Amino acid sequence: MTAQWQEQVSLKPFNTFGIDVKARYFTQVHNDDEVREALAQARRLQIDVLVIGGGSNLLLTRDIDALVLHVASRGRRVLSDEAGRVIVEAEAGEPWHPFVQWSLQQGFCGLENLSLIPGTVGAAPMQNVGAYGVEIKDVFAGLTALDRQTGELRDFSLDECAFGYRDSAFKRNPGRWLILRVRFALSHALQAHLDYGPVRQRLAEQGVQQPSAQAISDAICSIRREKLPDPAELGNAGSFFKNPVVSAELVARIRAQYPGVVAYPQAHGLAKLAAGWLIEQAGWKGYRDGDAGVHRLQSLVLVNYGQASGAQLHGLAQRVQADILEKFGVELEMEPNLY
């Protein structure tokens, strides 16, 4: 073992659900060399590797018989600033929300709608995280990843990432790529995205008529704090289910029985349903079974009230999925990665 490795380490501090499972081995890496060393040592010992960042997109259901590699690299920098277009780069281990706030403090616009999302910079492209009408793909300028099979570094363009709804080439190839740093294309001029959710209404309530990027960020933070529990106070992984994309015909059938169904038109005759609305209509909002529950204010969020196991939370999720399929004919897909 290298000196940095620890054995039988509790992962409770490293996942936002607060699930107390153990890693057979655990190490933190802070730069490219430490990443390469840890992966090489794991290969020599024929040990599997689980890479984690902020732990905000994990549901751990058992002890991890592997090396858990915690990416803790730090650093953020301006690569170019020309003609109003700014390229910034951040290391994968940078916490996401502080990075967004740093960009705003520099006078850069583009990330404001993605404020207060938990996790790290490196995890953001994995899921193509998005909120309030903006996704990572909309501000993406490239990333550098390590090929875990060959040890080589590769730069990815927007097209090569194959971003989809909460999806990417990296998510579809688990275990292949380890993201080291990410680049974003920002601007000195604000192009406000205010029409998704209650953002415009919240700004009006705050008396903001000509919002700045910081004002939009502040409004979104206030909305998120009202809707979503703080993982430091109540274990959760944010939105637990993806909003399902279904046919317009299925939406019409649901609307015939539930006129208030929340659906957003998509291309190719499809529509995106609000998963939270479906779950609430099915009566799951505020449901609790022991310490596993559905949040009382936001039915899209599963919560750990203290001592719930990952298996209990997964079981609850499966019950919700089965009920939504029976009642609406809609299959809900989990957002967190299950281990």
- What is the spatial distance between Cα 109 and Cα 237, in angstroms, rounded to a whole number? 27
Q: Is 166 annotated as catalytic?
A: yes
Q: Which of 115, 239, 299, 309 is catalytic?
A: 239
* CA-based nearest residue to 299, from 265, 268, 327, 324: 324
Q: Which of 34, 112, 135, 335 is catalytic?
A: 335
User: Any residues with CB less than 8 A from the CB of 62 and at least 6 apart, and which?
Assistant: 21, 310, 311, 339
- What is the spatial distance between Cα 200 and Cα 211, in angstroms, rounded to a whole number? 10
DSSP 136: G
Buried b (16+ CB within 10 A) or exposed e, 18-54: bbebbbbbbbbbbebebbbebbebbeeeeeebbbbbb
Would you state the structure tokens that stand for residue 246, as one six-digit string? 């279904």
Q: Which of 166, 181, 183, 202 is catalytic?
A: 166
Would you state the structure tokens that stand for residue 333, as one six-digit string? 């897909």
Give the pairing type, strands 337-338 and 58-59.
parallel
User: Any residues with CB less than 8 A from the CB of 169 and at least 6 apart, and which?
Assistant: 156, 160, 161, 162, 177
Dump the DSSP string for 169-214. Answer: HHHHSTTTEEEEEEEEEEESS------STTHHHHHHHTT-SS--HH
Q: Is 335 annotated as catalytic?
A: yes
Would you state the structure tokens that stand for residue 289, as one six-digit string? 């079974």
Please report, as a single letter, which amino acid is at residue 297.
L
Q: Are 96 and 136 in contact (CB under 8 A)?
A: no
Catalytic residue annotation: 166, 239, 335
